[in-house]
Amino acid sequence: MLPVLLVAFNRPKETARVIARLREVKPARVYFAVDGAREGRSEETALVDQTQQLAKEFDWDCELRTAFQAKNLGCGLGVSTAISWALTKEESVIVLEDDVLPDPSFFPFCEELLERFKDDDRIFAISGCNYVPNEALVGINSYRFSRIPHVWGWAVWKRSWDTYNFDIRNWKQEVSFSQLRKELGGSWIAALIWTKLFDAVAEKKIDTWDFQLVFAVIRSNSLVATSNVNLIENIGFGKNATHTANSPSYILPTGAIRFPLVHSPVGCDKRSDLWIQRHVFGARLFSVGLLLAKYAVLKLRINHN
């Protein structure tokens, strides 16, 4: 089985559940990365220590490598640094975070597609997370191709990750608005939404790493092979979560994918992507109106200071 990277922080209970799932499939190589505690939070130090101690739970016959940060890197650098670390030693890796509990069929799904597309530069990554309901899907294939990577359980090649940049402050010099709109299926609303998101990341108003991944896929005109069955349960919703306090309405029940896989011809599934843009990222006229109003108020405040 392909190597697995598990990225954790301060949730030992959830991390233990993910490790228990890994014990069922027994990957031969495991990379276990734990971010450091934030300054001034003594109670978090104990939780991080408990999470690090879970290294002893990898008790099957596997090669375990650990990366425990002495200081907190944050949501953005914490995850992206861990992925870069694993991919200095591997050509591809399955990536899980401490709140991501995959169905056992997720692992052979990733393995098969990582092998199938390993030399196909059109394919950037593999995702086992699906939000799109059956009625919005096209055909009966096992997976589709999307412009938008979903990272609750995914896999990536080193060749793809090498194109990733955490710092995207100069993103507009690399992708114009018209190019962005084209890559997003021609939707100017989606292009406007992502412009604002990329700007927020570039200006360090959002501490994350996955919007930069979206940009890397769009910039390279690549696709993500995405399961048409949701293979992932997110077990991290709650008051202690950084970005996922409440479960969104678009989350689908977790299921198992059937084998043999029904393969798809390479090409973006624009219908599904449009559903994602509208229902997950709010690419609707109403949302754009709220977004423009927010920036108009901000501009007025700036002009009056």
For residue 305, the Cα-to-chain-centroid distance in whole angstroms is: 39
CA distances in angstroms from 97 to 10, 75, 234, 249, listed in the order given? 11, 11, 10, 21
C-alpha to C-alpha distance for 235 and 4, rounded to whole angstroms: 19
pLDDT band at residue 299 using 50, 70 and 90 as cut-offs: very low
Amino acid at 214: V
Most confidently modeled range among 130-134, 186-190, 223-227: 223-227
Summarize pLDDT for 34-60 with one digit per residue, the tens: 999 999 888 899 999 999 999 999 999
Instruction: Give me the mean pLDDT over the 223-236 stretch.
Output: 96
Q: What is the pLDDT averaged over residues 79-99? A: 98
**Distance (Å, whole) CA 114 – CA 148:** 18
Candidates 4, 197, 198; CA nearest to 97 is 4
Res 246: pLDDT: 55
Predicted model pTM:
0.90
Residue 164 has pLDDT above 80, yes or no: yes
How large is the average pLDDT for residues 171-183? 95
Q: If you average pLDDT over every residue of the chain, what do you get?
A: 90
Is the predicted pLDDT of residue 141 greater than 80, yes or no? yes
From the list 141, 104, 144, the residue with the least C-alpha distance to 127 is 144
Locate 67 and state its tokens: 């990366």
Greater model confidence, 278 or 282: 278
Q: What pLDDT is stored for residue 255 in this prediction?
A: 97
